[in-house]
Amino acid sequence: MWKKEEVCSLLKDAVARREIVVLAAKCEIKYSGRAESYLGDGDRLIILKEDYSLLVHQPQGNAPVNYMKSGTIHSSFVEDGFLFLKCENLVQKEFLTIIMKKVYFFNSHKLNDSQKIVLQGNEADMANMIYKAPEIIEDGFKPVSQEEQTAYGFIDVLGTDKEDILTVVECKRYCADLAAVTQLRRYVERIMDAKGLKNVRGILAAPRITDNAKKMLEDWGYSFVSVIPPKYLAEYSKSQSKLDEY
């Protein structure tokens, strides 16, 4: 168990040196900002980054239970035997207070990282794939150039079918839902309005679609095409020794 005065001092020094701070503590947390929250006593992991963002993690779960964004101002002090960490983001009018009762461990270190993640297989890649291989959508489908695409907003792929009818394609990398259908509908209506056309087709391209969405899609005269989103990076070996798994 760490002395709170010591942790308070180490915390200030670490932040001053722009180190990342990690500590585990029994604490109580209050938040007020866009919403309000209260979290009673329990053990959590507290992370304070060099950009002054703060994360609080419970021992389970993916998402932080509380957090403050970059640019927050932090202050700490010991009062009534508790270590207080007060966090203020005046720009966003958000406030968070952590009241620590016990500190289990503390660590800080300067981390240097200039790398950015390279991520592929997203919706943009899917739209590019359709540009390069339009027959995926249907026979005779011809996309217009990518430059023209942006002229009507955020439409993924705009093209013409074999009968030269203007066709809007909306891509989803996941299972298409009702919101995807209404989005497609909005784009088709926007194009009809902008171009003064009465007949514009709408196609939803996704790996799959929910039954309700399919029904709504067909009620509106649009159609669905099953397309698997691409993955470009070389797959690294998925076969490995199963020894020592835990």
The reply to whether 19 sits near DNA by the rule CB under 7 A is no
Which of DNA, a second copy, none lies near 41, with the C-beta cut-off 5 to 8 A by kind?
Answer: a second copy
> Shortest distance, CB of residue 80 to a second copy, whole angstroms?
15
Which amino acid, one-letter code, is at 136?
A: I
CB of 117 to a second copy, least distance (A): 5
CA distances from 246 to 211, 238, 242, 243 (A): 39, 17, 10, 9
- Residue window 104-123: x/- pattern of binding to DNA, with contact defined by CB under 7 A: -------------x-x-xxx
Query: Choosing among DNA, a second copy, none, which partner's interface includes residue 4 (Cβ < 5 to 8 Å by kind)?
Result: none
Q: Classify each residue of 157-172 as buried b or exposed e, where b means 16 or more C-beta atoms within 10 Å of its C-beta.
A: bbbebeeeebbbbbbb
Task: Give least dist CB 81 to a second copy, A.
Answer: 18
Retrieve residue 26's tokens: 């029994």
Name which of residues 82 to 101 contact DNA (CB under 7 A).
Answer: 89, 91-92, 94, 96
Buried b (16+ CB within 10 A) or exposed e, 7-16: bbebbeebbe
Q: Are the C-beta atoms of 69 and 4 separated by less than 8 Å?
A: no
Our finding on whether 61 is near DNA (CB under 7 A) is yes
**Nearer residue to DNA within complex by CB, 78 or 152:** 152
One-letter amino acid of 35 = A
36 SS3 class:
strand
Of the candidate residues 1, 35, 234, 243, the single one contacting DNA (CB under 7 A): 35
Q: Is 149 in the site for DNA (CB under 7 A)?
A: no
- Burial per residue of 97-113, b for 16 or more beta-carbon CB atoms within 10 angstroms, e otherwise: ebbbeebeebebeeeee
Beta strands 94-109; 20-32: pairing state: antiparallel
- Residues in contact with DNA, counted by CB under 7 A, come to a total of 43
Q: Which residues bind DNA (CB under 7 A)?
A: 31, 33-35, 37, 61-63, 65-69, 89, 91-92, 94, 96, 117, 119, 121-124, 150, 153-154, 156, 170, 172-175, 177-179, 183, 186-187, 210-213
